[in-house]
């Protein structure tokens, strides 16, 4: 009953939340990467709300209080999921619900992250100039596809978790920083050609570790690349697994301090574009997400503008989702409750 009551509370305030989200320059964005939505549907997976009622994933995220979605783009994915046209299908759903949209270019045919940044098969024989042209064309064409459908895009990631650059080995930061910066700038310029007002995000992992951020952003700045927002991943689970932190408190302390430092050093905004907690521990996970949202909102001197959960609906293949039996667990209540608090704050005191 508690979950149902929370959902009811959000539904009756949804109009005010979305009006505020679209009009206020101080909006704090609560989002999720739901890029796997159409693939789940193709597999015959049905999602439900906490009351057991069938829901399409985007609608479910909206009902849970989220005001934004993040969608990844692969260049030539083997099965077509997360292709530009597949992203268009999902973006239409977000637009219909008034949700802001973040596009995340992986510049690969499959997953790109700090451990792999594989050149798309169609680009594998390109030289540096050709690679810049291909990256820019892919970026422009994908975004133009969305724009031609009257879809607004608020943020665009030029690369996904590019802690070591992308398009390896050509754009590997440790060995070819100048080329990584040049490729990044090509993406930045392509974004602005289609959506001049969109904010370009450069995204790294492990927000608790300032060294990797200085390495990348000092390098990008040195070689003349531009960005608007520094995007970060905040995963206490992975921080502990990697030996970067001993506990949640360490992650919270160090990622917030780093965001404040980065915003001052580089004169830009920041966002948590990926986060997650253990799906198997939903009550503990809710507390973790409450702490991360609170830290991002209240302990970064106003320099962090949102928190996005990564693939909450993913079950069985990944330990950090937020669903069980195709239903949201208590973890997602952290977003629902945060949305209600933010709406109340926006509305101000009643007379």
Residue 194, both tokens: 């289609």
Q: What is the pLDDT of residue 26?
A: 79
Beta bridge pairs of residue 69: 32, 101
145 by Cβ neighbours in 10 Å (0-12 / 13-18 / 19+) ranks as middle
Quote the mean pLDDT of the chain. 93
Q: What is the pLDDT of residue 163?
A: 98
CATH T-level assignment (fold) for domain 2-14+29-347: TIM Barrel (3.20.20)
What does the angle CA 248 – CA 251 – CA 257 come to, to the nearest 5 degrees?
140
Distance CA 209, CA 200 (A): 22
Exposure pattern of 30-62 as b/e (b: 16+ CB <10 Å)? Answer: bbbbbbbbbebeeeeeebebbeeeebebbebbb
Q: What is the pLDDT of residue 173?
A: 98
Measure Cα distances from 330 to 9, 59, 64, 199 in Å: 16, 18, 11, 32
Residue spans of the domains in the chain: they are: 2-14+29-347
164, 110 in Cβ contact below 8 A?
no
Q: What is the pLDDT of residue 349?
A: 63
Distance CA 170, CA 127 (A): 9
Higher pLDDT, 154 or 345: 154
pLDDT per position as a tens digit, 90-132:
999 999 999 999 999 999 999 999 999 999 999 999 999 999 9
- Counting residues of the chain whose pLDDT is more than 90, the rounded percentage is 89
Asked whether residue 3 carries a pLDDT value surpassing 80, the answer given is no
Asked whether residue 25 carries a pLDDT value surpassing 70, the answer given is no
Average pLDDT over residues 256-260: 98
Q: Which residues are catalytic?
A: 161, 274
């Amino acid at each position: 009953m508690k979950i149902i009551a929370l959902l009811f509370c959000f539904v009756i305030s949804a109009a005010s939340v979305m009006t505020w989200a679209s009009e206020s320059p101080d909006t704090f964005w609560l989002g999720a990467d739901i890029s796997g939505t159409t693939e789940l549907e193709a597999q015959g997976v049905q999602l439900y709300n906490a009351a057991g009622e069938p829901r399409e994933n985007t609608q479910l995220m909206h009902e849970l209080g989220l005001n934004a979605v993040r969608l990844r783009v692969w260049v030539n994915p083997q099965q077509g999921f997360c292709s530009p046209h597949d992203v268009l299908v999902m973006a239409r759903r977000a637009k219909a619900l008034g949700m802001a949209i973040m596009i995340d270019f992986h510049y690969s045919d499959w997953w790109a992250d700090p451990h792999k940044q594989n050149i798309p098969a169609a680009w594998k024989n390109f030289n540096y100039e050709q690679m810049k042209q291909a990256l820019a064309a892919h970026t422009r064409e994908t975004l133009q596809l969305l724009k031609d459908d009257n879809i607004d895009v608020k943020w665009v990631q030029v690369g996904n978790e590019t802690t070591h650059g992308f398009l390896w080995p050509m754009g590997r930061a440790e060995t070819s920083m100048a080329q990584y910066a040049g490729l990044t700038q090509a993406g930045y310029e392509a974004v602005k050609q289609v959506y001049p007002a969109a904010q370009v995000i450069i995204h790294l992992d492990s927000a608790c570790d300032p060294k990797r951020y200085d390495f990348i952003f000092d390098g990008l700045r040195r070689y003349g690349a531009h960005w608007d927002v520094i995007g970060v991943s905040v995963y206490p689970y992975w921080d502990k697994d990697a030996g970067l932190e001993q506990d949640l408190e360490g992650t919270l302390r160090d990622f917030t301090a780093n965001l404040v430092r980065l915003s001052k050093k580089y004169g830009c905004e920041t966002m948590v574009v990926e986060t997650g907690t253990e799906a198997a521990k939903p009550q503990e996970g809710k507390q973790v997400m409450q702490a991360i949202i609170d830290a991002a909102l209240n302990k970064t001197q106003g320099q962090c503008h949102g928190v996005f959960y990564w693939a909450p609906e993913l079950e069985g293949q990944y330990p950090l989702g937020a669903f069980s039996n195709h239903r949201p667990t208590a973890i997602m209540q952290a977003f629902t409750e945060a949305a209600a608090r933010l709406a109340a704050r926006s509305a101000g005191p009643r007379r």
